Every structure is written in C-alpha cells, then in structure tokens.
C-alpha cells in the first residue's frame, strides 16, 4: 500500500514550491494529482502561492472540521496518483488519521508539507503531533530556509510591531491583512538569543553559570 509522508521546513523553506514541482512532474506524465489545503490558510484564498509568485488552485479547500471521507471528497481523490497537502499544520488530528487511512486502505500516496513548530517553539498543533505519530516517512526539506546569520532556520519566530514575541494567538496567517505581525525564520541560537533569552530555562542556566565560576 501507499504511504503518508511528512515533509517539513521552517517558513520560507520552499515547501509550496516543492508541491508545485511535484504537481508539475505528475502533470507531465498525465497522472492525476489532488492538492488539499485548509480554509484556515487564507493566504492566496483558493490557491497555494509560492514565494516566487507561482500559484495553483487547490482541489479540496478543507473546512475546519470537514471530513475527507465524504462522497464529494472521495470522488475527487480516489483516482489520484498522489494527494499533496499544503500547510498540513492547519489540519486537525482527525483529518490526519483520515489521510493515513486513505494512503493505507485505498493505496493513494499522501505527501504532507508543513511546519513542525509554532512561533512559541512548541509543536504546532495536535494535527502535527498526529502526523509525527503516524507518518511512514518524515523528511526535512533541504536547507533553503536560512536565518539572517546564515545558519539553517529551524524556528518560525513572530514579530509583533517589530518586536519578537512568544505570546499571543496561536495562529495568525501572514496573508497581508495582519500588518502588525511578521514571521522571521531563525536558527536555534538566534531563536534563543532573540525570543527565549528570558525563558525560565535560560534564566536558571544563567544563574548556575553565575554561581559556579
Ligand atoms: Zn541564526
């Protein structure tokens, strides 16, 4: 049977471009592919949009608690050679279990693209925890997301009014309507330096350093 694969990177890591390239190679062979994204991803509305400006309309724009196992959705994907899911961190646990079942019961491969952690540095969602639990393969996409220091970016830091923050609503989409917010991909060292330097862990370690000299 087919597999469910999770491909992750930090923001701006080329995930959507990777989907568009994969879709293109299926298209060249006249193989049917289906693109799915959550309606919660308001960027590009019904399209997925890569950062170099290429867009493609999705086949299933999944509502917040919509099942993939409806007649309507099944008819869209059952003859597909692959299902490509963009921004999979916006799907819920149940939707991930459905994708896994589709791969393993009706033999349609599922490739999910997304972020593993949120701006707080925590696992992004229950959906992402579920995909880590169930994916047949987990792959990091290259290292095209770079921190400003030049190292590979791991974290998706949020800036509110130009200041790094790790408090606030879990999901704010950078669709152009949230001008006070900006996301910055950072390596672990810079994430600690700019975002988590006042965390309990960093403060406790600093105290140890000061005490034991
Ligand atoms: Zn850095």
* 172/177 Cα distance (integer angstroms): 10
For the chain, residues with pLDDT lower than 70 are 143
Nearest to 190 by CA among 158, 142, 148, 144: 148
Question: Ligand 1 centroid vs 53 CA: distance in angstroms?
Answer: 26
Task: Describe the chain by its helix, strand, coil percentages, rounded to 5.
Answer: 30, 25, 45
Q: How far is CA 131 from CA 61, 76, 120, 136, 191, in A?
A: 19, 22, 19, 9, 25
Domains in the chain: how many in total? 1
Three-state DSSP state, 47: strand
Question: Ligand 1 centroid vs 152 CA: distance in angstroms?
Answer: 7
For 124-160, give one letter per residue: b (16+ CB within 10 A) or e: bbebbebbeebbeeeeebeeebbbeeeebbbbbbbbe
Q: How many CB atoms lie within 10 A of CB 35?
A: 22
The question of whether 57 is a catalytic residue gets the answer: no
Residue 145 has what pLDDT? 86
CATH code (residue 40): 3.40.50.300
Residue 128 has what pLDDT? 98
**Domain extent at residue 130:** 4-211
Annotated catalytic residue: which of 66, 87, 89, 98?
A: 87
Q: Is the full-model pTM beyond 0.75?
A: yes
CA 152 to chain centre: 17
Q: Which two tokens stand for residue 211?
A: 């005490």
Question: Ligand 1 centroid vs 46 CA: distance in angstroms?
Answer: 34
Question: Ligand 1 centroid vs 192 CA: distance in angstroms?
Answer: 9
Residue 53 has what pLDDT? 79
What residues does 155 pair with on adjacent strands?
A: 186
């Amino acid at each position: 049977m087919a597999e469910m694969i999770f491909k992750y990177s930090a923001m701006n890591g080329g995930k959507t471009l990777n989907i568009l390239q994969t879709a293109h190679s299926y298209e060249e062979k006249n193989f049917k592919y289906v693109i799915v994204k959550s309606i919660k991803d308001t960027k590009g509305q019904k399209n997925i949009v890569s950062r170099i400006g290429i867009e493609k309309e999705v086949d299933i724009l999944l509502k917040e608690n919509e099942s993939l196992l409806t007649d309507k959705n099944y008819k869209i994907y059952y003859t597909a050679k692959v299902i490509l899911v963009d921004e999979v961190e916006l799907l819920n646990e149940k939707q991930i279990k459905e994708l896994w079942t589709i791969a393993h019961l009706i033999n349609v491969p599922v490739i999910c693209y997304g972020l593993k952690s949120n701006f707080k540095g925590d696992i992004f969602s229950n959906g992402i925890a579920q995909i880590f639990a169930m994916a047949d393969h987990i792959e990091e996409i290259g290292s095209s997301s770079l921190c400003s220091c030049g190292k590979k970016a791991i974290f998706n830091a949020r800036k509110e009014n130009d200041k790094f923050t790790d408090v606030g609503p879990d999901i704010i989409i950078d669709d152009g309507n949230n001008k006070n917010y900006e996301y910055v991909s950072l390596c672990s060292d810079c994430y600690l330096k700019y975002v988590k330097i006042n965390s309990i862990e960093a403060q406790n370690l600093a105290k140890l350093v000061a005490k034991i000299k």
